[in-house]
A and B are shown apart, each in its own frame.
Chain A
Amino acid sequence: MAPKPPLDKTPENRRTQMYKGVLELAAMSLLKDGAQYGLKILDQLRDEAGIDLAEGTLYPLLHRLEKAGLIMAEWRIEDDVSHPRKYYKLTKAGAAVFAEQRKAWLEMCGQLNAFLQRKAT
């Protein structure tokens, strides 16, 4: 019988660990396209980025970005829903941080991809 992986080293946990560093980048990337509310952010991250986040992860993250001045929030009342929605959008400072982080991520990915694929070519 194959040995069981340690509890904190399941494939799901590994994936979560890998996601942690890029969640903020993904959320900022999404908000760069325009203001969004929490549920929409969750759905878009899942559908477009393949990041299946729990609400308990996303909202504290948005709160932290807001406190850091990278995003700002406002409550909006819309005709199609009975309750107000809290919309988030990227600030100027957030856009600058996003541009810098995006560049760093793309460079790192390029190098890492080449490294991981070195045996395949």
Chain B
Amino acid sequence: MKDHDIIETWLRALTQALSSMPAEMRADIVEEARALLEERLAAGLTAESALHGFGTAEAYARPFMDDFQVHTALQSKSSLSMIKALLSQTGRSLVALLGLFVALVTGLIGLGSIAMIAEKIITPDKVGLWIWHAAGRTFACLGFCGGHPHTPDMIGIWAYAVFVFIAALMWFICRLSLRLALKSLIRPKKVASA
């Protein structure tokens, strides 16, 4: 196979690997690689030598695709897209893993709060806030307390407002954690923290 054919085959594989990108962005990346490869060939290098620094087309495409996925997720503002983008980077980024972990914890607390609102509607006397003393210690229960001691519920109907507030707060923190993790993935690195 001639050098130019090898380069063309590699560029076709690169185009394929970048296929989920917008055409203009994809063409820009492919054309830039083509320009450099042609310049290398013109300088007398073989196709194999010219391609050596690029690696496989798939490996070369990966950072571009990661970057594209993160930017798309941030622009879409969809939680699902943000989770997907972070999931694809958990193997390579501690920040992505941490962002997902915080989102998971806060998401679960938020869902739990919504469940408490539903439970309050079904069994109003078993969801609330109880504080009691036993064996010299103070105990508290916010949420569903099936076997609480005979002390009055301290918040009554305000439990709805409390759980709505907790759910909203957790939703906010969950999304903030996803956004911050994604932003930190595309932020230029600071040398002082390198």
A residues lining the B interface (CB < 8 Å)? 20-22, 24-25, 37-39, 54-56, 59-60, 63-65, 67-68, 70, 75, 81-86, 97, 101, 104-105, 107-108
- Identify the interface centre among B29, B36, B71, B194: most chain A CB within 10 Å of its CB: B194
Partner-contacting stretch, out of B78-86, B138-146, B183-191 = B183-191
In the complex, number of A-B residue pairs with CB atoms less than 8 Å apart: 83
Chain A interface, >50% SS class: helix
A93 to chain B, nearest CB (A): 10
Per the bound structure, the CA–CA distance linking A65 and B186 in Å amounts to 9
Please pick, from B55, B188, B190, B191, the residue contacting A70 in the complex, using a CB distance under 8 A. B188
Apart from A55-B54, A81-B39, A83-B34, 18 more pairs, CB < 8 Å: A21-B190, A21-B194, A25-B191, A37-B35, A38-B36, A54-B52, A55-B36, A56-B53, A56-B54, A59-B60, A63-B29, A63-B67, A67-B67, A67-B71, A68-B188, A70-B188, A82-B38, A86-B28
Closest 4 A/B residue pairs (Cβ)? A21-B194, A60-B63, A54-B53, A55-B53
- The smallest beta-carbon distance between A88 and chain B, in angstroms, is 10
- Interface residue? B64 (CB, 8 A): yes
Chain B residues whose C-beta falls within 8 Å of the C-beta of A39 in the assembled complex = 36, 39-40
Q: List which B15-65 residues lie within 8 A (CB) of chain A.
A: 28-29, 31-36, 38-40, 52-55, 59-60, 63-64
Is B192 an interface position by the 8 A CB rule?
Answer: yes
Q: List residues of B whose CB falls within 8 A of some A CB.
A: 28-29, 31-36, 38-40, 52-55, 59-60, 63-64, 67, 71, 186-194
Determine the chain B residues whose CB is within 8 A of the CB of A37 once the complex forms.
35
Given A56-B60, A82-B38, check contact A105 B186 (CB 8 Å): no
